[in-house]
Amino acid sequence: QVQVVESGGGLVQAGGSLRLSCTVSGRPGVRAAMGWFRQAPGKEREFVAHVSWDGRNTYYGDSVKGRFTISRANAENTVHLQMNSLKPEDTAVYYCAAVVFGAVRQFTANEYDYWGQGTQVTVSS
């Protein structure tokens, strides 16, 4: 059974940094492309970042470009999201997602196969 587990959320002041981590387990030998989404209260789920299965290609949502960095760790199917220069509008539940079947083309939520439970990020002004 595939499991997606996020960690690293918390409370930080505006201008600060946080690093989120995500590990996908249950598919040994399969390297998954992985992404991060976020959802603030009353808003739709928003694409944040994506990294290809081999780590060579990364993509970002417009609102986080230049501030967030997604990377793959040495461990299989573990990714990090380094978030710098955080703003109050970055406050949301952040979800990690994995693609095992098919490919991601438009970075929409329905392209991802497995999801984590989410981790809260709160940025105070």
Closest CA to 36 of 27, 49, 46: 49
Question: Encoding tokens for residue 94?
Answer: 């952040």
Q: 2 or 95: whose pLDDT is higher?
A: 95
Residue 36 pairs in a beta bridge with: 49, 96
pLDDT of residue 50: 97
Reported as a pLDDT band with limits 50, 70 and 90, residue 27 is confident
pLDDT of residue 58: 97
| Residue 109 one-letter amino acid | A
pLDDT digits (tens, 9 = 90+) for 61-115: 999 999 999 999 877 789 999 999 999 999 999 999 999 887 888 999 999 999 9
